[in-house]
Amino acid sequence: MITHLQDTVTLNNGVMMPGFGLGVYKAANDETVVNAVKFAIQNGYRSIDTASYYDNEEGVGQGIRESGIAREDIFVTSKVWNDEQGYESTLEAFDRSLKKLKMDYLDLYLVHWPVRGKYKETWRALEKLYAEGKVRAIGVSNFHPHHLEDLMRDSQVKPAINQVEYHPHLAQLELRDFCEKEHIQLEAWSPLKRGQLLNEPILTEIAEKHGKSAAQVILRWDIQNNVITIPKSVTKERIIANADIFDFSLTEEDMEKINRLNINDRSGKNPDSFDQE
């Protein structure tokens, strides 16, 4: 378990990834995302998660360059979007992302969603990028166990990461067990369920006991479950508060109370039906 903001988790290919980072979904591609990224890095964050779909890779790259921290000390993730999937189109999408970020490599590149009939060809492209050293690790996002089994049946490289919606209302127990068994690191997007969990009585009660916020309790729960987490924020106060979770621990009783909140409820789409909605 990580014990400090800059602590890392070793992925299945030996690459070390920070266990806590900044997500920038829906952050505007202007001074908003530039300043958020720059501020986060200057305050100790070392992992930034973006995607071509977020349409803010230029701002993310600028924020990293302006942070004063060397590129090789920042772990940068991006993702290939659904309409970019397929072998050649994924290679082109990767090049576009690098150009927008103004970088010559990525630390992690993910298949954003399991687009039926395409994600295997997309993965083949990621394997090529990985073999060429253009990306240090490759993984997936929003994959159920059956998607992962299907992908791994024909793959040369096992995904290092599966980034999924994960929070106390969606504990993903079956998926967590599967990924643990396969040595695929789980990573949480929307760890706070888009703010919907912040008034949950159990969480506020545990938060009061520790002198913390409900958000900090949830993010600590992620960390203690060995799940990498990337809460999204563009405000300075929240960027600092989100990372202020390394000076307390949840007890076994706290963890159990939070675990019992699981109702398998999503704030985002289900990977089995996302492309039919």
* Greatest alpha-carbon span in the chain: 53
- pLDDT tens for each residue of 166-223: 999 999 999 999 999 999 999 999 999 999 999 999 999 999 999 999 999 999 999 9
pLDDT-based confidence at 275, cuts 50/70/90? confident
Cβ 192 vs Cβ 200: under 8 Å: no
Give the whole-number percent of the chain exceeding pLDDT 90: 98
Distance between CA atoms of residues 265 and 244, nearest Å = 27
> Region 138-144: what's the mean pLDDT?
98
Q: Does domain 8-266 have CATH number 3.90.550.10?
A: no
- Which pair of structure tokens corresponds to residue 107? 């630390």
Distance between CA atoms of residues 33 and 71, nearest Å = 17
Question: Tokens 């890392």 belong to which residue?
Answer: 8
- pLDDT tens for each residue of 98-132: 999 999 999 999 999 999 999 999 999 999 999 99
pLDDT reported for residue 45: 98
- Which pair of structure tokens corresponds to residue 170? 């969606």
- pLDDT tens for each residue of 2-40: 999 999 999 999 999 999 999 999 999 999 999 999 999
Which of 85, 67, 79 minimizes the C-alpha distance to 187? 79
- pLDDT tens for each residue of 66-103: 999 999 999 999 999 999 999 999 999 999 999 999 99
- CA dihedral of residues 113, 115, 121, 127 (deg, nearest 10): 10
pLDDT reported for residue 1: 84
Cβ 64 vs Cβ 41: under 8 Å: yes
Distance between CA atoms of residues 129 and 120, nearest Å = 14
CA-derived radius of gyration, the chain: 18
In this structure, the number of other CB atoms found within 10 A of the CB of residue 178 comes to 19
Question: Tokens 């949830």 belong to which residue?
Answer: 218
Question: Annotated active-site positions, please?
Answer: 54
Mean pLDDT of the chain: 97
pLDDT at 165 over 70: yes
pLDDT reported for residue 9: 98
pLDDT reported for residue 41: 98
- pLDDT tens for each residue of 242-267: 999 999 999 999 999 999 999 999 99
Distance between CA atoms of residues 123 and 277, nearest Å = 24
Strand bridging mode 161-165 / 185-189: parallel
pLDDT at 276 over 80: no
pLDDT reported for residue 277: 46
